[in-house]
Amino acid sequence: MDSTAIDVRQLAKMIDHSLLRPELTTAEVLRGCELAATYDVASVCVRPADVALAVKALDGTAVAVGTVIGFPHGGSTTAVKAGEVVDALAAGATELDMVLNIGLLRSGEDDAVREDIAAVVDASGGVGLTKVIFENAYLDDEEKLRACRLSTLAGADFVKTSTGFAPGGATLEDVRLMRANVPAHMRVKAAGGVRTLDRMLEFVAAGAERFGATATATILDDLAARRAAA
């Protein structure tokens, strides 16, 4: 996509408005859903316990509700991750951001990592988009490449850079690497540290098609102002 020609609606539909901080109150989650509806973003990404609340708040809008699986460390058992998917879908979620098992990936246990991802994909039954979070701050390039391959083999829809809770977040280099090493039908999501319009547009140019963001209003208002002044 040409990042210089993107309009406000197109960029909004690339944003998953993130409501994942552990201290968020119910009122804050509801305000986040209201903001997401106002800007008509792609989705909100909420904590699992908030899915039903967000689904109700966003009823009648075009904003999807997503949640996280095995978050933020990826170390839950595969059965627990699959169970989280079942609960999330029952509550109305349609997008699932799962953390792969980072320790197993770094240990070279590729079959176990692929099976873990595939169990989440299978549990979704094709109802929810599955995004696999690598948590790249902990991985070297060889491990990132293996994560791309394993996510592809497991049938995931997206690969994602980060949770936003590790020492580092998305980098342009990682997005380029991920885009180059998954098939065209898979998409790349950048998360962690993408807080300005200029930064987001750099990531669009690098190949990201979805973003986890908390600075949604600031980014979209900036783009609207620039387009109005052009």
81 is catalytic: no
DSSP state, residue 69:
E
CA 216, 155, 112, 109 torsion: positive or negative? Answer: negative
Cα distance between the two ends of the chain: 20
> Measured between alpha carbons, how far is 178 from 185 in angstroms, rounded to an integer?
13
Q: Which residue has the tokens 């809008």?
A: 61
> Measured between alpha carbons, how far is 154 from 100 in angstroms, rounded to an integer?
11
Burial 191-210 (b: 16+ CB within 10 A, else e): bbbbeebebbbbbbbbbbbb
160 is catalytic: yes
Active-site residue, from 81, 131, 144, 160 = 160
Active-site residue, from 81, 131, 144, 189 = 189
State the burial class of residue 141 (Cβ atoms within 10 Å of its Cβ: 0-12, 13-18, 19+).
Answer: exposed
Active-site residue, from 16, 50, 97, 174 = 97
> Measured between alpha carbons, how far is 16 from 76 in angstroms, rounded to an integer?
24
Taking 3-state DSSP, the helix, strand and coil percentages for the chain, each rounded to the nearest 5, stand at 50, 15, 35
Which residues are tagged catalytic?
97, 160, 189
